[in-house]
């Protein structure tokens, strides 16, 4: 008897949530709740874990508060270059990097998986996204005033880049299948063309029926260097350690030793779930049979 359906999401990790204004808290909480309800409804209707993670991530991409889709963090040139990836427990994967036009990068990542023989495309051409039936927008659609102000502050070095807002989801459907999806605008003030861990399968996202579905947020370069998501899964697969111990071991070895911070959500095919971070705070939540809980 499968343990699902279950859905976990995150909305980024960062310094300390008490540094956010109270109204911002509420808005983040509402955004997370809406995404959980949207993804949860998909699971309740009996659709796949992949459908659910895409639906939840789309809701967060459409919400300008989060660092994904509209409202993505900006490059040092003031443009949005977005990364996204999806992976299913049977080992299929798709991703886009430095995407500039597709309204929902997570859907482009899914289309790469389902409609091409590739895993990763850089800024898919509009001929392709039109073929896939995906709405596109001008580059201005993604740029918000809030992100422009934030970029100014970061470039003037008056502010450390807060990293809240990268989004991700992991789900377990009623058939016992797991999937993950992650989407981000990357780091504030990043170089044009920089690709982070989110687009790289095994770094920020990984899913396998013999271990877990995993989605991460944090200092992307360290997640790439430590191949963090795959390292967690490999510990479960080869050392038979449980999810919590696998994550702690990987964080200790790959993140702490690099003085890097971030957060991870993970879900095993038998229904064990984990929300963990070594950053001061993380935005996250879960949906379990209609029950919604958020953490900000
Ligand atoms: N991991 C993302 C990146 O490096 C950023 C984040 O999660 O905040 O692109």
DSSP string, 89-112: TTS-EEEEEEE-SBS-HHHHHHHH
Confidence of residue 34 (pLDDT cuts 50, 70, 90): very high
Confidence of residue 164 (pLDDT cuts 50, 70, 90): low
Predicted pLDDT of residue 15? 77
Q: Report the 10 Å Cβ neighbour count for 110.
A: 28
286 vs 161, residue with greater confidence: 286
Q: Report the 10 Å Cβ neighbour count for 259.
A: 8
Determine if ligand 1 sits within 6 Å of the CB of residue 163. Answer: yes
Confidence of residue 157 (pLDDT cuts 50, 70, 90): confident
Please state the φ and ψ torsions of residue 151, each to the nearest 5 degrees.
Answer: -60, -45
In this predicted structure, the answer to whether residue 31 has a pLDDT above a threshold of 60 is yes
| 1: Cβ contacts below 8 Å, ≥ 6 apart | none
Confidence of residue 163 (pLDDT cuts 50, 70, 90): low
In this predicted structure, the answer to whether residue 162 has a pLDDT above a threshold of 80 is no
Question: Could you report the per-residue pLDDT of 37-77, keeping only the tens digit for each?
Answer: 999 999 999 999 999 999 999 999 999 999 999 999 999 99
User: Residue 86 Cα, ligand 1 centroid: separation in angstroms?
Assistant: 15
Tokens of 264: 């991870």
Determine if ligand 1 sits within 6 Å of the CB of residue 81. Answer: no
Report which protein residue has its CA nearest ligand 1's atom 5. Answer: 186
CA angle 83, 44, 275 (to 5 degrees): 50
Report which protein residue has its CA nearest ligand 1's atom 7. Answer: 217
Tokens of 172: 């377990």
Average of per-residue pLDDT across 260-268: 97
Residue in 13, 96, 220, 279 to alter for ligand 1 test, most ligand atoms within 8 A of Cβ: 220
Please state the φ and ψ torsions of residue 92, each to the nearest 5 degrees.
Answer: -85, 150
Tokens of 173: 């459907």
275 vs 281, residue with greater confidence: 275
User: Residue 133 Cα, ligand 1 centroid: separation in angstroms?
Assistant: 28
Q: Looking at the chain, how many residues does it have?
A: 296
Q: What is the pTM of this model?
A: 0.96
Lowest mean pLDDT among 16-30, 193-207, 271-285: 16-30
> What b/e readout covers 205-236, taking b as 16+ CB neighbours within 10 angstroms?
bbbbeebbbbbbbbbbebbbebbbbbbbbbbb
CA–CA dist 271, 192 (Å, integer) = 40
Predicted pLDDT of residue 156? 87
Q: What is the CA radius of gyration of the chain?
A: 17
């Amino acid at each position: 008897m499968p343990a699902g359906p279950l859905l976990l999401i995150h909305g980024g990790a960062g310094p300390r949530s008490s540094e956010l204004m109270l109204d911002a808290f509420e808005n983040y909480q509402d955004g997370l709740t809406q995404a959980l309800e949207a993804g949860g409804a998909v699971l309740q209707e009996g659709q796949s874990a992949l459908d659910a993670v895409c639906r939840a991530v789309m809701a967060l991409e459409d919400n300008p508060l989060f660092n994904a889709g509209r409202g993505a963090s900006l490059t040092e040139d003031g443009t949005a270059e977005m990364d996204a990836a999806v992976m299913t427990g049977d080992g299929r994967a798709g991703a886009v990097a430095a995407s500039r036009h597709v309204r929902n990068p997570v859907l482009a990542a899914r289309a790469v998986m389902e409609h091409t023989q590739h895993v990763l495309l850089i800024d898919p051409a509009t001929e392709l996204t039109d073929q896939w039936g995906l709405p596109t927008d001008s580059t201005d659609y993604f740029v918000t005033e809030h992100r422009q102000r934030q970029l100014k502050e970061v470039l003037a070095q008056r502010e450390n880049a807060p990293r809240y807002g990268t989004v991700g989801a992991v789900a377990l459907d009623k058939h016992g299948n797991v999937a993950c999806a992650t989407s981000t605008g990357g780091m504030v003030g990043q170089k044009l063309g920089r690709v982070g861990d989110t687009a790289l399968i095994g770094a920020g996202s990984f899913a396998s029926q013999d271990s877990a579905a995993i989605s991460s947020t944090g200092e992307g370069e360290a997640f790439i260097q430590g191949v963090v998501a795959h390292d967690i899964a490999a510990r479960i697969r080869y050392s038979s350690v449980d999810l919590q111990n696998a994550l702690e071991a990987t964080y200790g070895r790959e993140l702490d030793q690099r003085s890097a911070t971030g957060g991870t959500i993970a879900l095993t095919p038998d229904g064990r779930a984990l929300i963990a971070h070594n950053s001061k705070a993380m935005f996250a939540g879960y949906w379990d049979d209609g029950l919604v809980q958020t953490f900000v």
